[in-house]
């Protein structure tokens, strides 16, 4: 039995009202369960898996049914906060081949894409990308990929962690749209940090005018002599790019090693996806901060939804989930509460949280008694010198200037931390609701009503 946690005392918390969900979030606290990951053939190894091992990867998880590197610097050497220093001061490369690429191609590619996303696909120009969401017929968020428009009749869905590839094939199972839907052998890495542009200039030469490349702009380039699509985008809030290598299973080493070589003079470091920095930027992680039973309004994605009414952004045709989302928006507008919990930003006490949380830690009212919410993404903010997190608390009807739900800034709560991070074991720490993001991004997301 682990000395860190007595597993005979596990208790599933039921006081958090999740009665609007068919499958509640599992709030059973387990602590850092000591197990070894089984590497088997049922889960895919990405083309960069062996390269991540060479770079020092020491732990991994599973994401999109692919092994996903999630740590390079061991705790005794400074852990994830060493990787944080690299991304905020230099430049980093991440193995994110787990972001499967689902290609929609054919005469009806735009029509199909417009039907499955909540934004207006017709307003995305060729060689541009956008952050988008897909909802189910109940308005739940199925996925929040980066959508790349390669050409007039070709889109790539760069997926977060869910089986959207199979879902998209199911939507077109009767071939009502004249297009193909299939996964392709294109795998990304991310280049993130303040020195990313300098690295990309050295890597690509005059193939791209990086000084005039717009955010979410795309370009076709050769990296290490191999065909790639690059996007000015990323999951960090820092300046950055993504390199999508075509035929990645054949040419992974060529592209990867070219990046390493160009990165030497820029202090390039291979790190895990920078969740500490993405939390600061208020960037959500599907499956952690939301899932298919969360609607966009309760997880701060209402700005992604095209609704009926006046305005250029409201001319979008029907799409999956539109009726349910319009009904929710009307209920919110009239003062009703169509769901129980709202995602908010929190600052709170305790010892610095400098690694991933193994549990959804609990939130109580100021009396510190029965939990009424939970934290999804916590981390320590070195510049603010406090812990921060995104988490869910009961929705109180507060709206922002655009009429979308938000948490009431200044509201006070208590957070129940494990002993490792507690100032006084068993005593919850003070927490206060704050605005998201916690730190401005290099390319700030204004989160206003969508216009394509």
Does residue 121 sit in the same domain as residue 238?
yes
Name which of 430, 251, 406, 403 is nearest 334 in CA terms. 403
- Domain of residue 105: give its range: 37-273
DSSP state of 7: G
pLDDT digits (tens, 9 = 90+) for 58-87: 999 999 999 999 999 999 999 999 999 999
Does residue 196 sit in the same domain as residue 295?
no
What are the beta bridge partners of residue 95? 189
Residue appearing with tokens 């004249």: 178
What are the beta bridge partners of residue 270? 93
Cα separations in angstroms, 217 against 125, 147, 197, 240, 387: 10, 11, 14, 12, 34
Q: What pLDDT is recorded for position 32? A: 83
Write the DSSP string, 112-141.
HHHHHSSS-GGGSPTTEEEE--EE-TTS-E
Q: What is the Cα–Cα distance from 330 to 326, expressed in whole angstroms?
A: 6
User: Residue 308: helix, strand or coil by DSSP?
Assistant: coil
**pLDDT average per 10 residues of sequence, the chain (452 residues):** 56 92 93 88 97 98 97 97 98 98 98 96 96 97 97 98 95 98 98 98 97 96 98 94 98 98 98 97 96 96 78 68 94 95 98 97 96 98 98 95 92 96 94 95 57 46
Does residue 149 sit in the same domain as residue 227?
yes
Name which of 330, 295, 342, 303 is nearest 140 in CA terms. 295
Q: Is residue 136 part of a domain?
A: yes
Query: What pTM, to 2 d.p., does this model score?
Result: 0.94
Does residue 267 sit in the same domain as residue 346?
no
CATH number at residue 203: 3.30.1360.120
Does residue 365 sit in the same domain as residue 414?
yes
Per DSSP (E only), the strands in 247-297 are: 268-270
């Amino acid at each position: 039995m682990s000395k860190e946690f007595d597993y005979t005392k596990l208790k599933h918390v039921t006081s958090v009202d999740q009665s609007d969900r068919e499958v509640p979030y599992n709030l059973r606290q387990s602590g850092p369960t000591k197990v070894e990951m089984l590497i088997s053939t049922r889960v895919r190894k990405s083309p960069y898996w062996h390269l991540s091992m060479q770079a020092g990867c020491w732990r991994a998880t599973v994401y999109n049914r692919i092994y996903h590197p999630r740590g390079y610097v061991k705790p005794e050497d400074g852990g994830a906060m060493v990787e944080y220093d690299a991304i905020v001061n230099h430049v980093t490369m991440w193995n994110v081949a787990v972001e499967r690429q689902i290609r929609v191609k054919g005469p009806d590619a735009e029509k199909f894409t417009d039907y499955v996303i909540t934004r207006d696909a017709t307003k995305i120009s060729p060689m541009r990308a956008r952050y988008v969401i897909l909802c189910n017929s109940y308005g739940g968020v199925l996925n929040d990929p980066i959508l790349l428009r390669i050409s007039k009749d070709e889109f790539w869905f760069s997926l977060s962690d869910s089986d959207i590839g199979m879902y998209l094939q199911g939507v077109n199972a009767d071939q009502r749209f004249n297009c193909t839907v299939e996964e392709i052998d294109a795998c990304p890495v991310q280049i993130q940090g303040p020195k990313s542009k300098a690295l990309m200039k050295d890597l690509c030469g005059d193939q791209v005018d990086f000084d005039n490349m717009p955010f979410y702009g795309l370009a076709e380039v050769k990296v290490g002599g191999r065909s790639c699509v690059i996007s000015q985008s990323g999951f960090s809030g820092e300046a950055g790019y993504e390199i999508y290598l075509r035929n990645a299973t054949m040419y992974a080493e060529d592209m990867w090693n070219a990046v390493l070589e160009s990165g030497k003079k820029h202090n390039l470091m291979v790190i895990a996806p920078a969740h500490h920095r993405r939390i600061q930027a208020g960037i959500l992680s599907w499956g952690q901060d939301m899932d298919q039973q969360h609607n966009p309004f309760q997880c701060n994605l209402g700005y992604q939804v095209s609704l009926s009414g006046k305005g250029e952004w409201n001319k979008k045709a029907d799409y999956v989930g539109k009726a349910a989302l319009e009904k929710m928006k009307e209920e919110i507008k009239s003062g009703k509460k169509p769901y129980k919990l709202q995602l908010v930003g929190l600052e709170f006490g305790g010892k610095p949280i400098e690694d991933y949380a193994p549990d959804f830690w609990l939130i109580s009212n100021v009396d510190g008694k029965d939990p009424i919410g939970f934290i999804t993404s916590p981390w320590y903010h070195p510049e603010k010198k406090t812990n921060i997190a995104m988490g869910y608390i009961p929705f109180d009807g507060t709206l922002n200037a655009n009429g979308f739900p938000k948490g009431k800034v200044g509201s006070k709560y208590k957070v129940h931390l494990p002993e490792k991070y507690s100032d006084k074991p068993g005593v919850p720490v003070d927490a206060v609701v704050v605005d998201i993001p916690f730190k401005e991004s290099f390319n700030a997301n204004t989160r206003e009503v969508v216009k394509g």
